[in-house]
Amino acid sequence: MIGEIILKEIKLKIFDLRFIISTLIVLLLVIFSVIVLSEKYQKEVDDYQIALQNDKEKMEAMVVYSFLEPNLRYPPNPLSIFNTGISDRINKTVAIKYNSVPRQNPEIISENPLLKIYSHFDLITVFRLVLSLLAIILIYDSFSGEKEAGTLKLMLSNGVKRSHILVAKLTSNTIILIIPVIFSFLISLVIITGIYGVAFPGIQWIRIGLIILYTIVFLSFFIALGLLVSSMTVNSSVSLILLTSLWVMLCVIQPNLGSYIASTVINMPSNETLETAYKENWNEFSKKQQEILEQINRKIPSGIQNGNMGTYGDEYKFVVFDGSTPLLMKYLYRVLEIEPLRHEYAEKEWDIYRQMYLPSLEKQHQVQNYIDYLSPAALFQSVTASIAQTDVTHYDQFLNSARTYRSTLMHYLKNDKKLFSENAHEYFTNLSKEEIENSQYEARQRANTTHGYFNTPPLDLSGLPVFSFQQDFLSGIFTRVFINFFLLLVYIVTLSMLAAARMKKYDVR
């Protein structure tokens, strides 16, 4: 019997002009969005490749270790076409520096920051708004309409169980909605892979499958909601008004509340406080540095300090291509005594960030997540972001592996390369240890054969640790997404139960 009702419902609705036209509108919007988003992704990939190439060239031309500043780049993710997630507002390049530990950097790095005045936009947003509206338009009169037409009476008097009618309506409408969902995804995937040639590795297909599944679950929430409202109202126009108002609340207003409330309830330390703390930290360092410099000046052998040298940006990026012994010795002592101290203070700066700033970031995030549990649309957005790996957690993993890489690199430089002990000269010059102690700079100067940038060979960096971003495998998703997924199911079941309870009370007369 259920089967028959389901078939009847599907036949009735699928050839409905309203449904067909709405589906066509949805598909048109999806096609347009996919094209625009794919173009954007393509550009991102191109920029990424160029950046990698530049990084490589920079590393190959590196003449001394003080210039070493590997850039780690957050790889572009094709699934960001589906859910942009966090990727629009993060710094995707992390520079590994001697004087700072990687963290999210508020510097504006987007190619055109002014474009941010437009709200972000991706396929999930289109689905969230358009398909949910379609769901409401499909379902609003499923009971109230039949009540008005008198067919509900007929069905009930023919001995059809009320619960069967409910289950049949839920199933049939979900099945009907699957059609635009599947078509949207199919068209998107055809455009993305066919026209733009984006290749998804195997595991990404599972992610796409999960996104499709979750989209369907999200839409069945609206079907359950529609059934409940429709069973509560006698008049289908009242049911329509109620549902559209609820839709505005759920899809347009509520998703914003989490972030709003979180940032209102929990205060973050101001930029100023943080910067003052950083400044104090580095002032302390400068004081110590000054003392050490004075000691060094007393230690170095007397003589003229001159040579071919330079600095590049930060003060620790110094190089001496060639020079007199006193000059070389001065820099050697600096590397031995000041640079390790600098690394220490970099760690201290990170501690300040971790203790003063990070907890309130986390707390705000948590509060937002709790509030978002109440909002199906926000859940939809965050769960699909988790599945697509464009969420905060994934980016934090990237930052974590960047920090791990930095400590591996520092460990390598300190203990394997002995860059701050025995081989300290390699930090700033290409000259050998013996030459530093007994430099022939003056002689070379007379012969006009001093070393400079152009006759200094680049470093051999083959032993350098390689960064690898350990991405979370699929299993990681389930633990993260499970609660949210489960919660949405609970909402759907609750709504259906309420609708069933209403149905029971329905008086056939």
Is 258 a binding residue for another protein by CB under 8 A? The answer is yes
DSSP code of residue 463? T
Identity of the residue, 333 or 428, whose beta carbon is nearer to another protein in the bound complex: 428
Stretch that binds another protein, among 210-218, 221-229, 231-239, 472-480 (CB under 8 A): 231-239
- For the bound state, the minimum distance from the C-beta of residue 314 to another protein, rounded and expressed in Å, comes to 9
Q: Which residue has the tokens 């032993």?
A: 463
Is 32 a binding residue for another protein by CB under 8 A? The answer is yes
CA dihedral 213, 214, 216, 222 (to 10 degrees): 170
Q: Which residue has the tokens 């409940």?
A: 228
Stretch that binds another protein, among 5-13, 20-28, 198-206, 299-307 (CB under 8 A): 20-28
Is 365 a binding residue for another protein by CB under 8 A? The answer is yes
Is 229 a binding residue for another protein by CB under 8 A? The answer is no
- For the bound state, the minimum distance from the C-beta of residue 141 to another protein, rounded and expressed in Å, comes to 7
Q: 10 Å Cβ neighbour count for 302? A: 6
Identity of the residue, 90 or 332, whose beta carbon is nearer to another protein in the bound complex: 90
d(CA 161, CA 150): 17
d(CA 483, CA 174): 22
At residue 322, φ and ψ (nearest 5 deg) are -160, 150
Is 259 a binding residue for another protein by CB under 8 A? The answer is yes
Query: Per CB under 8 A, which of residues 79..98 are in contact with another protein?
Result: 86, 88-90
- Please select the residue that binds another protein; options are 15, 17, 194, 298, rule is CB under 8 A: 17
Q: Which residue has the tokens 């390790």?
A: 340
Q: Which residue has the tokens 């002689």?
A: 443
d(CA 140, CA 222): 10
Identity of the residue, 112 or 468, whose beta carbon is nearer to another protein in the bound complex: 112
Query: Per CB under 8 A, which of residues 114..153 are in contact with another protein?
Result: 114-121, 125-126, 129-130, 133, 137, 140-141
d(CA 488, CA 491): 5
Is 244 a binding residue for another protein by CB under 8 A? The answer is yes
3-state secondary structure 379-398: HHHHHHHHHHCCCHHHHHHH
Count of chain residues binding another protein (CB under 8 A): 86
- For the bound state, the minimum distance from the C-beta of residue 70 to another protein, rounded and expressed in Å, comes to 15
Is 356 a binding residue for another protein by CB under 8 A? The answer is no
- For the bound state, the minimum distance from the C-beta of residue 84 to another protein, rounded and expressed in Å, comes to 9
Query: Per CB under 8 A, which of residues 456..475 are in contact with another protein?
Result: none
Query: How far is CA 71 from each of CA 61, 97, 225, 345, 419, rounded to the nearest angstrom?
Result: 14, 9, 49, 21, 20
- For the bound state, the minimum distance from the C-beta of residue 401 to another protein, rounded and expressed in Å, comes to 17
